[in-house]
RNA sequence: UCCCCGGUAGCUCAGCAGGUAGAGCGGGUGGCUGUUAACCACUUGGUCGCUGGUUCGAGUCCGGCCCGGGGAGCCA
């Protein structure tokens, strides 16, 4: 007999099949047991009727505990009362392992308790929906770039001597030398872009920031495209197209999961090109009109990002920040050297920054001077400066934070549910 | 690092005028042929975060510490 999955059950109507999974929940009514079987692809109700099975099977069904692993043999039948349209008339039942008292009940739990039991919490319907959407978002990022001429180039996780101070880097011992966990693959992607034209990396990045907010993890995943011969406008066009593609793929392939999360789908359906583009200077004006007191040159905090992103129904691209509050590799705007050719993309509905990027400084002399101005060790950038020595070209790129994107698309309040095993300032287990 | 809130049964919480601990859920037992977080009856269940103090008496008041949550700062 065939082992089938709940997601494919419609194809087997009227047939006898085998399902392998876990007991999600159970209800009984005298001569009936209703077993909710969960197999990772979905949940289906399996009905055990006393008259249909040997007595020992019926008694066994009565004793199964929540999350026990079970194998069920039975007939697939259509039933209007089922949320998925089908249920199983049980003929056989085998318990692979009888679970001990399961800590997570179908009732409410607090955040701390659930985080403590993250390894079990992953089994719940809501977490399934979120992590399936995460999987779809990552797939969409990769397929879009793969299908548009980009090459995947993996960046290293171990990096040598810190470039910009060590306070936000995780230090490790590397055969007696200090090494650090990467904060970004960007510098390596610039090298790769000079080799392959259009490249991207996708991997974990680490920040030892003592940030306790809904937007911060110490370990998070980024997609970082980098493109030779792209200027800031090309960069913004790519960011816009990529985000539109991601949202459309999720709407197309994960609509049921969005419904499970009770996401306002109409808000996502508005995400179509073109997105609004405003300059930093215009953003400051908007914030001041909203009653915040910003002076030109201030960087945006979480509150400012929230206010700005609530102003628009689509992601908003904020470009040309003051050069002074940006990293050394940012290229200055030739039209106004106080400005950097950079862009942040703020997700709507208050979700804030999901992309940061821009055009990189491509002139050797200027870059050397910037490194000195930022008091950075020239030696550490020897290889990076080579890129401006041997065939330097204008180039640009950005980093898209996966977890913040998942939080926005799923409509979640906190990024801790957007990654299977979140790493937070105060939590490294499970 | 700073500010605010919290820690009582396995879980979610109530208990505050200081007088010796309670509900719902879960677990267990029994009942019910159609349950959808099933329901009904009975039942089980506690180092009140730790520590010191005030008091005849502390879950309750005070100090210190630990842990968690929310936020800020920080945040290529």
Helix (H, G, I), strand (E, B) or coil at A231: coil
Poorest-pLDDT segment among A136-145, A265-274, A281-290: A281-290
Look at residue A60 and tell me whether its pLDDT is greater than 80. yes
Beta bridge partners of A199: A151, A226
Beta bridge partners of A32: A29, A49
Report phi then psi at A46, rounded to 5: -115, 120
Q: Closest Cα partner for A397 from A350, A360, A348?
A: A360
Tracing tokens 């719940």 back to the chain, one arrives at A124
pLDDT tens, position by position, A63-85: 899 999 999 999 999 998 898 99
Q: Is A427 left (phi over 0), alpha (psi -120 to 50) or beta?
A: beta
Confidence label for A292 from pLDDT (cuts 50, 70 and 90): confident
Between CA A245 and CA A393 the distance in angstroms is 28
Look at residue A163 and tell me whether its pLDDT is greater than 80. no
Helix (H, G, I), strand (E, B) or coil at A55: helix
pLDDT tens, position by position, A187-233: 999 999 999 999 999 999 998 887 778 888 999 999 999 999 999 99
Counting DSSP H helices and E strands in chain A, the numbers are: 13, 18
Helix (H, G, I), strand (E, B) or coil at A249: helix
Tokens of A223: 């997609």
Taking every pair of C-alpha atoms in chain A, what is the biggest distance, in angstroms? 86
Between CA A161 and CA A192 the distance in angstroms is 21
Alpha helices in A279-381 (DSSP H): 280-289, 302-310, 364-373
The pLDDT value recorded for residue A168 is 79
For the question of an ipTM over 0.90, the answer is no
Confidence label for A164 from pLDDT (cuts 50, 70 and 90): low
The pLDDT value recorded for residue A232 is 96
Confidence label for A242 from pLDDT (cuts 50, 70 and 90): very high
Q: Are A369 and A322 spatial neighbours (Cβ–Cβ below 8 Å)?
A: no
Helix (H, G, I), strand (E, B) or coil at A233: helix
Nucleotide nearest to A105 (CA to C1'): B26
What CA–CA distances, in Å, run from A300 to A145, A216, A284, A296? 30, 16, 9, 11
Tokens of A333: 């705007």
Confidence label for A127 from pLDDT (cuts 50, 70 and 90): very high
As a whole number, the mean pLDDT across chain A is 91
Q: What is the DSSP letter of A421?
A: S
CA of A114 to C1' of B60 (A): 29
Q: Within 91-120 of chain A, which residues have Cβ less than 7 Å from strand B?
A: 101, 103, 105-113, 115
Between CA A245 and CA A235 the distance in angstroms is 15
Asked whether residue A297, judged by its CB, lies under 7 Å from any atom of the DNA or RNA strand B, the reply is: no
Tokens of A226: 């980098």
Confidence label for A101 from pLDDT (cuts 50, 70 and 90): confident
Question: HSE of A109 in the Cβ direction (CA atoms, 13 Å)?
Answer: 15
Look at residue A165 and tell me whether its pLDDT is greater than 60. no
The pLDDT value recorded for residue A279 is 94
The pLDDT value recorded for residue A167 is 63
The pLDDT value recorded for residue A291 is 80
The pLDDT value recorded for residue A350 is 85
Q: Is A404 left (phi over 0), alpha (psi -120 to 50) or beta?
A: alpha
The pLDDT value recorded for residue A122 is 92
Residues in contact with A386: Cβ distance below 8 Å, sequence separation at least 6, in sequence order: none
Between CA A232 and CA A157 the distance in angstroms is 27
pLDDT tens, position by position, A88-98: 999 999 999 99
Report phi then psi at A285, rounded to 5: -60, -45
Tokens of A420: 């299977």
Between CA A296 and CA A93 the distance in angstroms is 70
The pLDDT value recorded for residue A144 is 97
Helix (H, G, I), strand (E, B) or coil at A405: helix
Q: Closest Cα partner for A201 from A143, A237, A155?
A: A155
Tokens of A182: 């990467």
Look at residue A166 and tell me whether its pLDDT is greater than 60. no
Asked whether residue A51, judged by its CB, lies under 7 Å from any atom of the DNA or RNA strand B, the reply is: yes
CA of A298 to C1' of B75 (A): 15
Q: What is the DSSP letter of A41?
A: S
The pLDDT value recorded for residue A271 is 95
What number is the average pLDDT over the span A409-418?
92
Residues in contact with A150: Cβ distance below 8 Å, sequence separation at least 6, in sequence order: A198, A199, A200, A225
| Domains of chain A with bracketed CATH | 6-97 (2.40.50.140), 118-417 (3.30.930.10)
Q: Within 182-211 of chain A, which residues have Cβ less than 7 Å from strand B?
A: 183-184, 186-187, 207, 209-211
Tokens of A394: 């204008």
Asked if the bond preceding A274 is cis, omega within 30° of 0, the reply is yes
CA of A46 to C1' of B46 (A): 38
The pLDDT value recorded for residue A213 is 84
Q: Within 227-286 of chain A, which residues have Cβ less than 7 Å from strand B?
A: none
**Tally of residues, chain A:** 430
The pLDDT value recorded for residue A379 is 86
The angle at the Cα of A94, spanning A91 to A98, to the nearest 5 degrees, equals 140
Helix (H, G, I), strand (E, B) or coil at A121: helix
Asked whether residue A311, judged by its CB, lies under 7 Å from any atom of the DNA or RNA strand B, the reply is: no
Alpha helices in A378-430 (DSSP H): 382-389, 402-410
């Amino acid at each position: 007999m065939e082992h089938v999955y709940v997601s494919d059950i419609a194809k087997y109507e009227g047939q006898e099949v085998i399902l392998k999974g876990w007991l999600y929940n159970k209800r009984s009514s005298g001569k009936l047991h209703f077993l909710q079987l969960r197999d990772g692809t979905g949940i289906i109700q399996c009905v055990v009727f006393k008259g249909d099975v040997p007595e020992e099977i019926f008694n066994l069904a009565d004793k199964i505990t929540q999350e026990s692993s079970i194998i069920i043999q039975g007939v697939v039948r259509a039933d209007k009362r089922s949320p998925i349209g089908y249920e199983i008339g049980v003929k056989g039942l085998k318990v692979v392992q009888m679970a001990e008292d399961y800590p997570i009940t179908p009732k409410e739990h607090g955040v701390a308790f659930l985080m403590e039991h993250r390894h079990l919490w992953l089994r719940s319907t809501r977490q399934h929906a979120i992590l399936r959407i995460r999987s779809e978002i990552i797939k969409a990022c990769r397929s879009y770039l793969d299908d548009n001429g980009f090459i995947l180039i993996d960046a290293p996780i171990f990096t040598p001597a810190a470039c910009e101070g060590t306070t936000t880097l995780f230090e490790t011992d590397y055969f007696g030398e200090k090494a650090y966990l990467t904060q970004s693959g960007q510098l390596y992607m610039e090298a790769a872009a000079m080799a392959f034209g259009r490249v991207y990396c996708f991997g974990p990045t680490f920040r030892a920031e003592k940030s306790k907010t809904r937007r911060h993890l110490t370990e998070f995943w980024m997609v970082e495209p980098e493109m030779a011969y792209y200027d800031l406008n090309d960069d913004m066009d790519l960011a816009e197209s990529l985000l539109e593609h991601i949202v459309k793929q999720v709407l197309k392939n994960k609509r049921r999961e969005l419904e499970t999360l009770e996401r306002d789908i109409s808000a996502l359906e508005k995400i179509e090109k073109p997105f609004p583009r405003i300059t930093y200077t215009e953003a400051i004006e908007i914030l001041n009109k909203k009653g915040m007191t910003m002076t030109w040159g201030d960087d945006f905090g979480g509150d400012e990002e929230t206010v700005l992103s609530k102003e628009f129904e689509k992601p908003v691209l904020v470009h040309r920040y003051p050069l002074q509050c940006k990293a050394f590799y940012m290229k200055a705007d030739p039209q106004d050297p106080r400005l950097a050719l950079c862009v942040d993309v703020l997700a709507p509905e208050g979700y804030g920054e999901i992309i940061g990027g821009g055009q990189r400084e491509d002139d050797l002399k200027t870059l050397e001077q910037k490194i000195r101005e930022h008091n950075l060790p020239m030696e550490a950038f020897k290889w990076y400066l080579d890129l401006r020595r041997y065939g330097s070209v204008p180039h640009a790129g950005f980093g898209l934070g996966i977890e913040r994107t998942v939080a926005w698309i799923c409509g979640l309040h906190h990024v801790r549910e957007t990654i299977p095993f979140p790493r937070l300032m105060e939590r490294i287990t499970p």
